[in-house]
Each structure stands twice: as C-alpha cells, then as structure tokens.
Amino acid sequence: MSFPSIPTNTSDMDRDDALDLLIASVAFEELSLAHILNAEAEKIQYVLGTLDGTTTPVEAPSVDDLIEVNNTVNQTIRNIIKYQMLLQFKLEDASKFPEENGENGEFVEAGSAWSVGIDFGTGNAQYTTLGAEETENTVILGLGNNYIPIGLVSIVRTNGNLEVTISTISPYVMDEVQLYVSNAIPVDSNPGGFPDKYTVTNPVDYFSSHTFTVDVSAYAGQILYIAAHAHVLKEV
C-alpha cells in the first residue's frame, strides 16, 4: 500500500484548504500508527509461530523470550496511546476553529507544567526516569495541579547525549523551559535553579517546542532522573 502524500506547495491555499489539510494530516498520522500496531501484532505472531507466510523459528521461544517481546510491545503501545492523545487534541482544535478569525494574538498566563511522573519538592513538581537500559521514553507535559495534558516530553538517549524535547499543542505556548538531568533524584523544585534553561521575552518568539541536548556520557549504564518544566501561556 502506498502512503498518501501531502501537497508541498501551499502558497495558494486559503483558510478552508489549510484546515482540510490539517485534518487530513491527522488521518495520515493515524494510518501510520495503525501500521505500527499491525507490525507489533505480527511480531507476537512470529514469536508464537502463527504468522502466515513466514518460517517458524527453529527453536521454540523461552518464557524469558516471550516476556521480553511482551514488554517491548507493551512499551510501544503505551507510546502510541500518548501520541493518540495529542492527535485527539489536534483534531478537536481543527474542527472547532472559528469561522472568522477572532484571535487577537494576545496571551494569558496558563501556569506551570511538568513532565508527569513522580512528585518531588513543593508545588506540582514532578520528575520522570529513563532506565539504565532504556534509550527513549515519552511522558505527558501536565499543566497545573491536575496535570492537564497539554503536550509531551520526549526523551532520547544516544551516543552519550540525552535529547529532551518539550512540546505543547495549540493554543498553548511557552516562554520559559527548564531541565534537570542527573543520576540523582531531584530535590529542589525551583526550576529557575535547573542547569539547563531557555527563555524568551518577546511574544513573537513564544514557542511550542524546544529541544535540549545534554551530555550524559558520565552516567552510562545508570538510571537518569529528568525533570522538565515549562512556563505556559494560552493564546486568546
């Protein structure tokens, strides 16, 4: 099956065309997730020897093999569920877009958002972890004391570096992001004291995504503790 393509020349699109394209992009992303789910199902079928058109493994899988496959499939499905939440928000925002552009480009403070995980310090501060053998993890970026999902924090460890991407969905943007990464659990929940930070002051520079790259080569083979914080504004 060939994958649908999105037009690359959008200069002559009107507002309705752009909204249609936005909704279509959600459908394309959903199709991609369906392919991933199908691949995970076939992975299980192959291990069990029930996948049509393939050679049955010479040696029957051990219980440990089955547990390992189950864990990898489970992690993939968990990540898909998280991404599904963002796609749902994206679709709702596109379908509810006003007929006339009533936005005035103004922003109001929404509050403090953290990478959802384990409480620490004071307020709504939370941290997450990346296991010693894990190379990636994705968690919700939660706003306020109820941790309303407004985005994602994507964590990838490769070649001695850790890339942490903090992103929000419309109508939320950020003007400050801070990051704590260490092999020790954070205790100080004041994000202003975190070693990595990025700040803008001009509203035209407000952003919906920022990536930190942190050298973690000194923590090879160790659990990493990550606390990502964002100061969030909402466009009105």
- What local confidence, expressed as pLDDT, does residue 12 receive? 59
Dist. CA 21–CA 6, nearest whole Å? 8
- What local confidence, expressed as pLDDT, does residue 128 receive? 96
In a domain, 102, yes or no: no
What domain count does the chain have?
2
In a domain, 218, yes or no: yes
Q: Determine contact, residues 110/143, Cβ cutoff 8 Å.
A: yes
Are 87 and 134 members of one domain? no
Dist. CA 113–CA 151, nearest whole Å? 9
H or E segment to which residue 45 belongs: helix 15-48
Are 56 and 145 members of one domain? no
In a domain, 1, yes or no: no
Point out the domain boundary residue: 70, 95, 120: 95
Are 71 and 111 members of one domain? no
Point out the domain boundary residue: 71, 95, 119: 95
Point out the domain boundary residue: 95, 126, 149: 95
Q: Determine contact, residues 112/178, Cβ cutoff 8 Å.
A: no
In a domain, 10, yes or no: no
In a domain, 193, yes or no: yes
- For the segment 54-96, what is each residue's pLDDT rounded down to a tens digit? 666 667 788 888 888 888 888 888 888 877 777 777 777 666 6
DSSP 233: E
Are 214 and 133 members of one domain? yes
Q: Tell me the residue ranges of DSSP E strands in the chain.
A: 107-115, 118-119, 126-130, 136-143, 148-158, 161-168, 172-182, 196-199, 209-215, 224-235
> Is 80 exceeded by the pLDDT of residue 20?
no
Are 145 and 183 members of one domain? yes
Q: Determine contact, residues 28/75, Cβ cutoff 8 Å.
A: no
pLDDT band at 100 (very low <50, low <70, confident <90, very high): very low
Are 142 and 219 members of one domain? yes
Domain that includes residue 60, residue range: 15-95
Are 67 and 117 members of one domain? no
Share above pLDDT 70 across residues of the chain, in percent, rounded to a whole number = 83
90 is written with which tokens? 């994206």
Dist. CA 215–CA 97, nearest whole Å? 41
Amino acid identity, position 144: G
In a domain, 194, yes or no: yes
The CATH number of the domain holding residue 122 is 2.60.40
Torsion of CA 189, 191, 195, 200, to 10 degrees: 170
Are 114 and 91 members of one domain? no
In a domain, 60, yes or no: yes
Highest mean pLDDT among 43-47, 96-100, 205-209, 228-232: 228-232
Are 27 and 55 members of one domain? yes
Are 141 and 168 members of one domain? yes
pLDDT band at 15 (very low <50, low <70, confident <90, very high): low
Residue bearing the bigger pLDDT, 19 or 175: 175
- To the nearest whole number, what is the mean pLDDT of the chain? 84
In a domain, 153, yes or no: yes
- What local confidence, expressed as pLDDT, does residue 120 receive? 96
Q: Determine contact, residues 160/217, Cβ cutoff 8 Å.
A: yes
Are 132 and 231 members of one domain? yes
Place of tokens 């801070």: 178
179 is written with which tokens? 């990051």
Are 165 and 203 members of one domain? yes
